[in-house]
Amino acid sequence: MKNLIRLAASLVVVLILLLCSAAFSQESDVELPEEPAAAEEAGPEALEGADIIIGLEPAAEEVPAVEVPLPSYVTVSDLPNDDGTGIVVEFEKAEGETEALTYTVSVGAGPDGPWQEVGSFPATKKWKEEAGHYYPAFFWFQKGRAGVSNNIHLFTIQNLSGNVPLETGVEYFVKLTASLDGANRDYPEILSATPEEQWFDTGRTNVLILAVLFGATVLYFIARARRDPNLFIRKISGLDAVDEAIGRATEMGKPILYLNGMSSLADLSTLAALNILGRVARRVANYESKLTVPCRDPIVLTVAQEIVKAGYTDAGRPDAYNADDIFFLTEDQFSYAAAVCGIMMRDKPAANFFMGYYYAEALILTETGASTGAIQIAGTDASTQLPFFVTTCDYTLIGEELYAASAYLSREPLVLGSLKGQDMAKVFMMVMIIIGTLLMTFGVVFIKDLFKALG
């Protein structure tokens, strides 16, 4: 019996020893590099996933400090072409700049701070070559030009923290800090600049030159028209039809409906529509017909009343003028459309004029007018609504024809002269488009920037 017990105890001890050895062999089953030198060569990636490293001594060398690159120079100056509320930090691309490098700009009231962080950006962003805005005329020849690489960082400061704008005439100190992998390095010099306001935006020099040039051309042709009033202006069939439409309404004994568009008097197309209204009112007064002008804008209403009254007076029929025929409907877009459609359906005007700027209600108005059988003349510079007008109206004044209409109807040499000037400007634009297309085709791209406002 004792022998049996001894045998069983021996077996248990052997079993325990076997289990222990098996467990030990499992724990040390991690793949190790064959040589410590090989492990060093393979780098830390080779040891990834190892929970316990047995037999590998820790690296004897210390981790080297991160080298944070800094730009070779930094300048801080007043922001050009602004209202005196900005300064600009410029610095050359540092050697060894990577995506991981970040620049932080801080502003202080004095050279020793306290510093307010006003912006932080990665080294791959904020290039002067891509800025354009605020930069003077000579910059056009660099901006976005093919082959020009990004070399200069540019950071504009217009607000302190809390959106507090910079003050004109106050000196601000700027500190630039570069950060890489948690290590920071300040540019050794603290620089300063004072925001100053400018009285001419050099970024818009090209706009000024072209505007003055076009204006002078128009004035020149007006002066020329004074000397030689026999100017040829091409036929605009939509305007030739104005007399026909008014005559038809008179014959039928029905009113004429005139709309000035949906915009306010601040819109030039409304002014053009009112100019045409003056001519139309004069002819309506001559024909002794009735003119209805529903308005959407109160100021347009008062001006339209004055214009129609003057038209009737000029035609020698002030007695025929009725102020109630020029009235206010509503400022709401679709309520206005509904009200005008109601007028069309009830009064059945023989001629409808849609001049000025229109939005989505254009088709509702003109389709209703077409369904009543009225002769319809439209004139708009709303390019999105033009297809609807062309489809539903008998005549459409497209874009610039709306602005030329007043001059065309008046036949006055002075006003017609301005049309000639406008045409000359158009010729200039066409020549520039052809030259520009050719130059761009052959890779000369600066001409594109000559016609771009930078301000």
Residues 125-154 that bind other proteins (CB under 8 A): none
CB contact burial 209-224 (16+ within 10 A = b; e otherwise): ebeeebeebbeebbee
Binding status of residue 332 toward other proteins by CB under 8 A: yes
As a whole number of angstroms, the distance between CA 178 and CA 70 comes to 7
| Span from 11-19, 92-100, 111-119, 425-433 in contact with other proteins (CB under 8 A) | 425-433
Angle at CA of residue 388, ends 385 and 389, nearest 5°? 90
| Span from 66-74, 109-117, 170-178, 399-407 in contact with other proteins (CB under 8 A) | 399-407
Single-letter amino acid, residue 184? N
Q: Which two tokens stand for residue 91?
A: 């610095």
Of 5, 54, 60, 266, the residue at the interface with other proteins (CB under 8 A) is 266
Of 346, 441, 442, 443, the residue at the interface with other proteins (CB under 8 A) is 346
* Least distance CB 53 / other proteins (angstroms): 57
Of 211, 434, 440, 444, the residue at the interface with other proteins (CB under 8 A) is 211
Binding status of residue 113 toward other proteins by CB under 8 A: no
Q: How many C-beta atoms lie closer than 10 Å to residue 375's C-beta?
A: 21
190 to 209, contacts with other proteins by CB under 8 A?
Answer: 197-201, 204, 207-208
Q: Indicate the residue among 36 and 342 with the shorter CB distance to other proteins.
A: 342
Count CA atoms closer than 13 A to 88's CA, side-chain side: 20
| Span from 22-30, 111-119, 178-186, 308-316 in contact with other proteins (CB under 8 A) | 308-316
Of 11, 19, 429, 444, the residue at the interface with other proteins (CB under 8 A) is 429
Binding status of residue 360 toward other proteins by CB under 8 A: yes
Q: Which two tokens stand for residue 289?
A: 């017909």
As a whole number of angstroms, the distance between CA 11 and CA 259 comes to 112
3-state secondary structure 399-414: CHHHHHHHHHHHCCHH
**Binding residue count for other proteins, defined by CB under 8 A:** 85
Binding status of residue 255 toward other proteins by CB under 8 A: no
22 to 61, contacts with other proteins by CB under 8 A?
Answer: none
Single-letter amino acid, residue 54? I
- Spell out the residues 6+ positions from residue 238 whose beta carbon is closer than 8 angstroms to its own: 377, 378, 379, 395, 396, 397, 401, 405
* Least distance CB 161 / other proteins (angstroms): 22
Which residue has tokens 């901006």? 143
Helix boundaries (H) for 28-103? 36-42
Q: Indicate the residue among 103 and 408 with the shorter CB distance to other proteins.
A: 408
Query: 3-state SS of the chain: helix, strand, coil percent to 5?
Result: 45, 20, 35
Binding status of residue 320 toward other proteins by CB under 8 A: no
| Span from 20-28, 94-102, 180-188, 401-409 in contact with other proteins (CB under 8 A) | 401-409
| Span from 65-73, 78-86, 232-240, 254-262 in contact with other proteins (CB under 8 A) | 78-86
As a whole number of angstroms, the distance between CA 174 and CA 29 comes to 58
Binding status of residue 310 toward other proteins by CB under 8 A: yes
Q: Indicate the residue among 287 and 389 with the shorter CB distance to other proteins.
A: 389
Residue 387, φ and ψ in degrees, nearest 5: -60, -35
Q: How many C-beta atoms lie closer than 10 Å to residue 50's C-beta?
A: 12
220 to 249, contacts with other proteins by CB under 8 A?
Answer: 222
157 to 196, contacts with other proteins by CB under 8 A?
Answer: 168
| Span from 113-121, 175-183, 248-256, 310-318 in contact with other proteins (CB under 8 A) | 310-318
Q: Indicate the residue among 111 and 298 with the shorter CB distance to other proteins.
A: 298
- Spell out the residues 6+ positions from residue 237 whose beta carbon is closer than 8 angstroms to its own: 395
C-alpha Rg value of the chain to the nearest Å: 40
Of 121, 141, 334, 446, the residue at the interface with other proteins (CB under 8 A) is 334
* Least distance CB 153 / other proteins (angstroms): 24
Binding status of residue 311 toward other proteins by CB under 8 A: yes
As a whole number of angstroms, the distance between CA 282 and CA 267 comes to 24
Which residue has tokens 């000035």? 260
As a whole number of angstroms, the distance between CA 10 and CA 431 comes to 109
Q: Indicate the residue among 47 and 363 with the shorter CB distance to other proteins.
A: 363
Binding status of residue 282 toward other proteins by CB under 8 A: yes
